[in-house]
Each structure stands twice: as structure tokens, then as C-alpha cells.
Amino acid sequence: MCAKLRIAQTDCTLANFDENLARHCALTEEAIRDGADAIAFPELSLTGYNVQDAAQDMAMHLHDERMKPLRELSSRICIICGGIELSDDYGVFNSAFMFEDGRAESVHRKIYLPTYGMFEELRYFSAGKHIQAVNSKRLGRIGIAICEDFWHVSVPYLLAHQGAKLLIVMMSSPLRMSPGSGTPEIVSKWQNISCTYAFLFSSYVATINRTGNEDSFTYWGNSSVTGPDGTIIAEAPLFKEMVMDANIDFSAVKRARLESSHFLDEDLRLIAAELEASIKRSRS
């Protein structure tokens, strides 16, 4: 199976859903014309990142009528984007949405909400409680994480062992300091994380980071797709909006796992038993 994945490394307008939605629709229509099977956007791409107290006002149910244009476009393409989700019990989540074949699904709620340094997500969002790979007609079995989630090895580990051969990471990652000469440290760290996970889990890893400025935040872009051997196969520039395509050839996952079985040899029963023992010890 092969799939053409379009990555939309975009900026967005803070707290302006209508403008951001129009941008999503225009880029999705362009991707359809170009024969893409799927298009993926950054974290909170429909709302902007630093919404703060406006999060409750902007939160909407996935089946809100305002989402109808994306549902309609998804009859011809898979759309993965970020928004603020209002759950049935009125929780407010930083979520990943997937639209495909006219249907809408919340495929991941961000679990690890950074509240340190410049970040304060836990003040405005509830934390997700589940890690679950999902099936896409056009992409096969995939796992989706949101930014900080990927700094916790348990998230990609579980997604990969649930059968995901493509791990998609939606990001709104800002610089931790003013741009200077050379590659910023946060960029190098993300590159190392992506390549390491791709190799260890013998899976594709696609990172979609936004660009632009929002309040005091500067987002650095540099979205990428890494193959199951840990080699970067597509990479967008720093600080610039760009759409780029990557051919996801799942036979490469087969080759990687036949050449080295380190992922397949993982002893899940041992891990589960040791985790349970650790939990019991922490309670005693």
C-alpha cells in the first residue's frame, strides 16, 4: 500500500475559526486537485494556539454544523487537523480531528499538557485519557499524537504496538529563545526524537509544525517525514509556510522489520508485568 500525504506547514489566525477554516478548505481543495490521499495540519490549526480563556468559548462538538465544509471535502480525501473539542460532558480538549468519507472523528485528545516555562495548557484544557491507533481508508492504521505527547515514549510505543505504521505528530512548537545563528536547539531535539522513534518502532513518523508569530511565540516549522529506517525523506524549511508531499510506501515498513526485528521482539507481557509491579510499589 502506498499513500500520498500532503503536509500543510501553515500559519493561522488566533481565535478566528472562520478564517482558519477557509484556509483549510482552500488547501484541501488544492490537495485534492493534486491527487493527495490525505492532508495533515498542525496542532490547533483551526483556532490558533495561545487561545487562553477563549478556549471555552471556541470549543465545539465535532459534529457542529460549522465543520460541515470539512466533512463534505473528506469524501475525496482524508483530512487531519487540530481544534478545540467540546465533549458530550462539556470537557474542553486540545484535539486531533479526522474527516474521511464524509464522517468526522476525534482521533486523539492531547494527554500531556505542558504547564511550565511559557506554557500553561493545563489551565485551559482537560487532559486526554486514551492512547488508541485508528484506521483510515486512505492511510491504513495510523497513530496520532499532539506535540508534548511525543516527548513521552509511552505514546508512540503504544501506538506502534497497536498496529500504527504511520505516526503523525501535530505540533505548535515555538522557539524557546530568540532566533540566532545555526539550528535552534529545540529543532535539533525534535529531529532526534522523530528519527529515533521511526527507527526503534520501524514506522513512518510525520511531524507537522506550524509557522508564524502569535503574541510572543515564534513557531519554527521544519515539518518532516522520516522513514522506518530513521532517515528523513521529506523536510520543510524553518519559519516559512509550505505544503509538501511525501510518498508513504508501507512496503518500507515490511523491509525494515525483516532486516531488524528489534521492534517485533519487544516483550509486551514483560513490560506490562513490570509496569504493574512499579505501580504497586508506588502505592505501598
User: Considering Cα of 180, then 181, then 185, then 188, what sign does the dihedral take?
Assistant: positive
Instruction: Give the count of beta carbons closer than 10 Å to the beta carbon of residue 262.
Output: 12
Give the 3-state secondary structure of residue 251.
Answer: helix
In tens, the pLDDT along 77-123 reads 999 999 999 999 999 999 999 999 999 999 999 999 999 999 999 99
Q: What's the average model confidence in pLDDT over 245-269?
A: 97
Confidence of residue 176 (pLDDT cuts 50, 70, 90): confident
% of the chain residues with pLDDT over 90: 95
**What's the pTM?**
0.97
Q: In which domain, by residue range, is 175 found?
A: 2-283
Question: What pLDDT is attached to residue 180?
Answer: 59
CATH number where 181 lies:
3.60.110.10
Is the Cβ–Cβ distance between 96 and 44 less than 8 Å?
no
Q: Are strands 224-226 and 232-235 parallel, antiparallel or unpaired?
A: antiparallel
Query: Any idea which residue has 509486551 for its cell?
Result: 268
Longest CA–CA separation in the chain, Å: 60
In tens, the pLDDT along 54-77 reads 999 999 999 999 999 999 999 999
The Cα 241–Cα 11 span in angstroms is: 7
Structural domain count, the chain: 1
Confidence of residue 215 (pLDDT cuts 50, 70, 90): confident
